[in-house]
C-alpha cells in the first residue's frame, strides 16, 4: 500500500514537472510582451539540463500515462535544444576567424553595475585589454568620477551619466567623424552612436545599446521596438557596422534574431559557444545577453569574455578588422528577410518613428 502511494506521488510529481516544462516552452511562442512570459526565453539551456533527469525517471518507472509524459518531455526537449544548438560548437560557424594583422581594432563593452564599487577591478580589466573602443553601461556620477584617470587616456569620450541604471560612456582613440547620444525609444534608455575611422582609413559605425530588461513592471514592447528600430537605423548606409552592448535579451530570443535579420548582421557566437555574460555572480543561472554583431564586411579576429570585475556582467571583448575583401572570404552570407516579414517590420519601424517624432526624439 505504501509503495503504491509512493508511486502515485511520484507520478503526480512527474506530471506536474511536465506541465511546468510545457508551460515554459509554449508560452514564449506567443507574441506577448508581458515581462514574465519574455523572461521564460532566458533559461533555455537550464531547461534542457532540468528536463533530462525527469525524462530518465519517466523511462525508468512505469505509471499511468507515462508515454504521454515522455512524448511531451521529448517535444519540449527538442524545441529547447533547437533554440540553443546554433550557439554550440557542433553548429556551422557564421564567422571564421581572421588572422591578427596591423590595423586590427579592439572593442570592449561592459555593464559595470551601478551599485558595484570595485572601480579598480574595472579599470584593471580595461587597461589589460586596452581597447580602441570602450563602451560602458550603468554609469552614474560616482562611476564617471572614478574612471577619470582611465578616460583621460582616450582623445574622444562621450559621457552620459545617469542615476537610473542607463547611463553610459563611449570612449575611443580612433579618429571620430561623429559621436553622440541618440534616444531610439520613448523610455529613458540612451544609445551611443559613432561614426569612426579605422587605422586603414575605412569609415565604420559603432552602436552601443542597453535597452530595458523584462522585469516586474517593465514589459518588453519598448525593448523590442528599440532593437528593431536601431537595427534599421544603424544600417541606413553602406558602411560597416559594429553593434555591442547589454541587450537584456538572450541571443536565441525572437527579438534578437529579428534584430540580426533586419540589420543583416553576423554573430560570432554561432558555432562557437554560449559565452554567457550574465549573471556573473551565479554560475548556474547565466545567460548570453551581452552581444556583439557585425555586418558581413567586418572580419573578426577574436571574441571572448573578460574577467570578473564585481559586476553582474562579464566584459565582452573582440578584435576586428574593417576589411571587406578579407571578410568576404571568411563570413557566411547573412540570413535573408522574406517580403512578408519585411513589410511587418517596416510597419513597426514606421510606427516607432512616429512615436519618437511625437516626443521630439527622431534620430538625426
- Residues 288, 175, single domain; the answer is yes
- Residues 306, 257, single domain; the answer is yes
- Residues 193, 310, single domain; the answer is yes
Q: How confident is residue 256, by pLDDT bands cut at 50, 70 and 90?
A: confident
Q: What would the pLDDT profile of 132-184 be if each residue is shown by its tens digit?
A: 999 999 999 999 999 999 999 999 999 999 988 899 999 999 999 999 998 87
Residue 247 CA to residue 249 CA, distance in Å, equals 5
Q: Whole-prediction pTM value?
A: 0.89
Q: Which CATH number does the domain housing residue 227 bear?
A: 3.60.10.10
pLDDT at 362: 56
Q: How confident is residue 94, by pLDDT bands cut at 50, 70 and 90?
A: very high
Strand 203-209 versus strand 168-172 pairing type = unpaired
- Asked if residue 186 belongs to a domain, the reply is yes
- Residues 81, 111, single domain; the answer is no
Residue 198 CA to residue 240 CA, distance in Å, equals 11
As a whole-number percent, the residues of the chain with pLDDT over 90 amount to 64
Range of the domain at 30: 2-87
pLDDT at 219: 65
Flag the least confident range among 55-64, 107-116, 268-277: 55-64
105 closest CA partner among 292, 317, 331: 317
253 closest CA partner among 220, 210, 215: 220
Q: How many domains does the chain have?
A: 2
pLDDT at 214: 77
- Asked if residue 128 belongs to a domain, the reply is yes
Amino acid at each position: 500500500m505504501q509503495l503504491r502511494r509512493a508511486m502515485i506521488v511520484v507520478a503526480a510529481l512527474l506530471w506536474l514537472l511536465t506541465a511546468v516544462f510545457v508551460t515554459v516552452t509554449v508560452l514564449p511562442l506567443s507574441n506577448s510582451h508581458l515581462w514574465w512570459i519574455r523572461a521564460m526565453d532566458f533559461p533555455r539551456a537550464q531547461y534542457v539540463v532540468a528536463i533530462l533527469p525527469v525524462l530518465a525517471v519517466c523511462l525508468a518507472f512505469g505509471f499511468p500515462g507515462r508515454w504521454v509524459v515522455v512524448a511531451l518531455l521529448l517535444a519540449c526537449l527538442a524545441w529547447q535544444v533547437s533554440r540553443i544548438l546554433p550557439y554550440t560548437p557542433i553548429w556551422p560557424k557564421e564567422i571564421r576567424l581572421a588572422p591578427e594583422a596591423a590595423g586590427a581594432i579592439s572593442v570592449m563593452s561592459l555593464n559595470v553595475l551601478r551599485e558595484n564599487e570595485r572601480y579598480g577591478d574595472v579599470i584593471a580589466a580595461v587597461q589589460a585589454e586596452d581597447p580602441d573602443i570602450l563602451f560602458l553601461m550603468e554609469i552614474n556620477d560616482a562611476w564617471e568620477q572614478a574612471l577619470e584617470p582611465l578616460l583621460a587616456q582616450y582623445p574622444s569620450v562621450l559621457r552620459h551619466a545617469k542615476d537610473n541604471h542607463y547611463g553610459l560612456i563611449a570612449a575611443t582613440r580612433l579618429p571620430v567623424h561623429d559621436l553622440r547620444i541618440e534616444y531610439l525609444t520613448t523610455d529613458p534608455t540612451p544609445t551611443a552612436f559613432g561614426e569612426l575611422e579605422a587605422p586603414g582609413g575605412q569609415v565604420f559605425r559603432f552602436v552601443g545599446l542597453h535597452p530595458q530588461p523584462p522585469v516586474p513592471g517593465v514589459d518588453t514592447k519598448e525593448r523590442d521596438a528599440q532593437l528593431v528600430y536601431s537595427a534599421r537605423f544603424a544600417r541606413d548606409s553602406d558602411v560597416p557596422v559594429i553593434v555591442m552592448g547589454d541587450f537584456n535579451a538572450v541571443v536565441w530570443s525572437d527579438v534578437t534574431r529579428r534584430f540580426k535579420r533586419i540589420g543583416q548582421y553576423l554573430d560570432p557566437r554561432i558555432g562557437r559557444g554560449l559565452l554567457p555574460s550574465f549573471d556573473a555572480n551565479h554560475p548556474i543561472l547565466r545567460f548570453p545577453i551581452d552581444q556583439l554583431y557585425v555586418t558581413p564586411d567586418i572580419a573578426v579576429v577574436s571574441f571572448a569574455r573578460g574577467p570578473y570585475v564585481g559586476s553582474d556582467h562579464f566584459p565582452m571583448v573582440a578584435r576586428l578588422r574593417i576589411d571587406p575583401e578579407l571578410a568576404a572570404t571568411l563570413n557566411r552570407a547573412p540570413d535573408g528577410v522574406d517580403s512578408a516579414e519585411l513589410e511587418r517590420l517596416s510597419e513597426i519601424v514606421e510606427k516607432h518613428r512616429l512615436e519618437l517624432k511625437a516626443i521630439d526624439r527622431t534620430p538625426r
